[in-house]
Structure 1
Amino acid sequence: MTRTSKGLLLGSCVALVAGCAIGKSESFTFTADLPPNFAYEAVAQYAPAKGETCTVKKTDVGYNQRWHLDYKERYKPDSEIPIYRTVEGCRLAIYRVELNIYATYGEDRGDFGSDTAVIVVREQLEEHQKRAFDATGESAIDGQCQWSFRTSGKTRVLRKLLECKKVDAQGMATKGRPVGAYTLDQLPGKTVKLKIKLADEERPAIGDTWVKVPNGWKRCMGKSFEDQYAFCFGNYKDFSTFRMPDGKQCSIYPGCTE
């Protein structure tokens, strides 16, 4: 995957095996409702279906099928994912979809954060473990992503980290990444949607390094500007400037100037 801002913003595409026609009874649709500047990469993983005695090497394409970010196309949230596949005469069933969530905050290739979600598929599950589908055939995996910020390097350039959590019935972020579990017989012809909301406020990535002020956050100076850790240690009067990803010198985040 090319880690450019364009690549992160502009898309996911379906990479299907040539000549493999997929019917609705043999596939499900994965889609995503993401905040601006977000995209996903999905990797579907397969294993021999129940009753099969065959084996397939994990290096073969049958075990991992990737729906990847493609910077050459506009972002398309929908991917049609096969439930069953046959590789080298071995019938395979999907058992997991790893979802990589990416978001950009600047124009340089390193100005992005990422985290993960997962879809788990089993032959059988307890009723309380299974995600339900609504009358339209759609099931949602809800999550919330949170930006945190810090400074890095001798110029104290601002960097941002992304953390994504599952949400409870009240819409509050809880421990653990977003996850949905389904049985094989639930999925044919259905739609699974990853629904991600962005937390309203960003927060410092490291404690005791920034001070909250009425209109944002100010970076503690530490021992000197060259102090890479620059913990406050009770000094809430001496602050430093920092550099935004676009090169702008600022004294407060996120507004830059006080």
Structure 2
Amino acid sequence: MKRVIQSLIFGSCTALTVGCSATGKTDSFTFTADLPPSFAYKAVATYIPAKGETCSVPGGKNTQVSFNREWRTEYKADAEILLYRTVSGCPLALYSVKLDINATYGKTWGDFGSDFANVAVRETLLETSKGTFNAAGESEFSGQCQWLFRTSGKPRILRKILDCKNTDAQGVVTKGHPFSAYTLDQLPGKTVRLKIKLADEEEPYMGDTWVKVPNGWKRCMGDNFEDQDAFCFGNYTDFSTFRMPDGRHCTIYPGCTENKEVTP
């Protein structure tokens, strides 16, 4: 009897353990992410009726589960995601995990950029479409994020937009956002890892609005200081100042103040 009790308490998987089925089989996987400093992810797992089920959930209520909703203050890199849930008496299976990749670049609430990645989960997939796992039960997919900068408003405040692209096994940027896909039977007890690299250089969000110079980028004036688009249109002599998120007034990005005048 003592051994039975110990097994129930200390066993690696029991019917009472989150992510375990009544048969003792793990019905969850771990999602985690290796991200650059000041980055965090928010995840939403979406569930649909399991294969062969004809039931439905009224209004789709409680068919999504969020992780790291408060990513600024309560962030955890690891999330245990259930593969199966029952809502309103309807057995559901995991269908997808949408990931918001968030990154801050300043101290105020609005000083952040966001882009997305996706994990698809299906009953069946072509072998060439399925993610693969190593001997340790880990699978990795990757991407590269880049900061794109622009100015906004009459003070021409510098804002940044986060742009995240998929990368292949060699780290080469490809089309689309970071993405991977798995079958339900691949995932129990496994770990899926998203690995994001930050691009070495930032670029303007919109073409023909900044001019590249040896020390950074200079903002074209446009028609006047209140011109919101302020395209260069061949005028590479009239530049405007702009304001950094920390309040500094600058003439060049990212160095803020240029050391010498240069010709574009």
Counterpart mapping for 1:51-62 below 5 A: 51-61=52-62
1:74, distance to aligned residue in structure 2 (A): 4.7
AA paired with 1:43? V
Q: Deviation digits for residues 5-33 of structure 1, max 9, x if unmatched?
A: xxxxxxxxxxxxxx983226100000010
| Cα distance in 2 between the residues matched to 1:58 and 1:129 | 32
Q: Structure 1 regions of 5+ residues with no counterpart?
A: 1-18
Q: Which has the larger radius of gyration?
A: 2
Partners of 2:68 and 2:76 within 8 A in 1 = no
1:104 aligns with 2:104: yes
- 1:194-223 Cα distance to aligned partner (Å, 9 max, x none): 111111100000110100000100111112
For residues 53 and 32 of structure 1, the distance between their equivalents in structure 2, rounded to whole angstroms, comes to: 35
Q: Which residue of 1 aligns with 2:244?
A: 244
- Report 1:215-234 matches (<5 A): 215-234=215-234
Structure 2 residue 22 is the aligned partner of structure 1 residue 22: no
| Letter of the 2:18 counterpart | A
C-alpha deviation, 1:72, in angstroms: 7.8
Q: Which residues in structure 2 correspond to 1:27-42 (within 5 Å)?
A: 27-42=28-43
TM-score of the aligned structures, taking structure 1 as reference length: 0.89
Distance 1:53 1:100 in 2: 31
Higher mean C-alpha deviation, range 168-177 or range 202-211: 168-177
TM-score by length of 2: 0.87
Is the contact made by 2:42 and 2:71 (CA closer than 8 Å) also made in structure 1? no
Structure 2 runs not aligned, ≥5 long = 1-15, 259-264
| Cα distance per residue 1:109-154 (max 9 Å; x no partner) | 1111101100000101110000100111111110011110000111
Q: Work out whether 1:172 is the aligned partner of 2:169.
A: no
Q: Which SS does the other structure have where 2:140 is aligned?
A: strand
Give the Cα separation in 2 of the matches to 1:131 and 1:89: 31
**Who is 1:191 aligned against?**
191
Match for 2:30: what amino acid?
T
Q: Distance in 1 between matches of 2:228 and 2:89?
A: 57
Aligned match of 1:6: none
Aligned residue runs from structure 1 range 70-109, under 5 A? 70=70, 73-109=73-109
Deviation track 1:168-214 (CA, whole Å, cap 9, x = no partner) reads 23311111011100000000000001111111100000110100000
Instruction: Report the secondary structure of 1:148's partner residue.
Output: strand
Q: Name the residue aligned to 1:211.
A: 211
SS of the equivalent of 2:222 reads: coil
Distance (whole Å) between structure 2 residues aligned to residue 131 and residue 71 of structure 1: 27
* Residue identity in the other structure for 1:56: V
User: Aligned equivalents of 2:100 and 2:53: distance in 1?
Assistant: 30
Contact 2:40 2:71 in 1 (8 A): no
CA gap 1:120/1:58 in 2 versus in 1, 3 angstroms: farther
**Which whole-Å CA distance do the structure 1 matches of 2:247 and 2:27 have between them?**
50
SS at match of 1:75: coil
- How far off is 1:224 after superposition? 1.5
1: CA distance between counterparts of 2:148 and 2:140?
A: 26
RMSD of aligned alpha carbons: 1.5
Q: Percent identity?
A: 66
Counterpart in the other structure of 1:153: 153
